[in-house]
Structure formats: structure tokens, C-alpha cells
Amino acid sequence: MKLPWSYMTVGDWLVITVLIVFAVAGMAWVAGAPVGSRLVVSDGDRICFTATLDQHRTVELEGPLGRTRLVIDNQGARITGSPCPRKSCMTMGPARQTGDLLACVPNRILVRIDGERKKDSPYDLLSR
């Protein structure tokens, strides 16, 4: 049995190399690109802040009542501090899927995840 290399010509090597380079570059591009999701914060009318989800950072958002603290990490985006009375925005779990929403109604902070919808998402909307 002859090994594959003994059959291969320069042309073969060229074609295979080009294909592998293409695949590896594609993989690097997929890994480097954001998960397809962006975080958009608005005050109900205007967008006041946007960021990609592939980062770790804390943002202080200014609302009519004061500052709402938003944390972005590998779990998604969460509100960890808010001047509103009920703090229900802080219990609204991390938002990471397209369409997920975090809202602080009193402080008028609306955090939404935008982007292409994942096909494996089990539901379109959450009834709560």
C-alpha cells in the first residue's frame, strides 16, 4: 500500500493548502466574531448605549432616579445596582439571547439583546 503523499502532485498540495488555510481562517473569524449579539440600552425613546456581549465590563447608566449598574460578563448582561424602589430589575436574570429584555421601569432603563436569532432557542418569548 502506498501512502497518500506518494500520489500527490504539487497541484494537490496547493489545492489542499488553500482549502485548509480557508477553513482555518474561517474558524478564526467565527471564534473572533461576536456571538452575533449586541446589547442595546435605551431610555424608551432613544438608544443611549450599545456594546457587544463578548466582553467583561460594568457600565453605569444614568436614569431619572439615578444610576443603574449594568454588568456584562460571560453569562450575559445583568443589572446589579439600581436606585428604583422595588429592585425587580435586579432579579431579572442574565439576558444573553436575542430578544431578552432587562427593564427598570422606574429608572427608565431598557436593556435588550439584538442580533440574529439562534436556531436552537427553545422559545420566542417568555411568559412571566
Residues in touch with another protein (CB under 8 A):
1-2, 4, 7-16, 19-20, 22-27, 29-30, 36, 42, 44-45, 85-86, 88, 91-94, 99, 101, 103, 105, 108, 110, 112, 114, 116-119, 122-128
Cα–Cα distance between 109 and 59 in angstroms, integer? Answer: 12
Closest distance of CB 59 from another protein, Å:
19
| Nearest to another protein of 42, 52 (CB atom) | 42
Closest CA to 60 of 46, 50, 70, 49: 70
Cα–Cα distance between 103 and 123 in angstroms, integer? Answer: 20
| Nearest to another protein of 69, 96 (CB atom) | 96
Closest distance of CB 116 from another protein, Å:
5
DSSP letters, 75-88, are: TEEEEEE--SSS-G
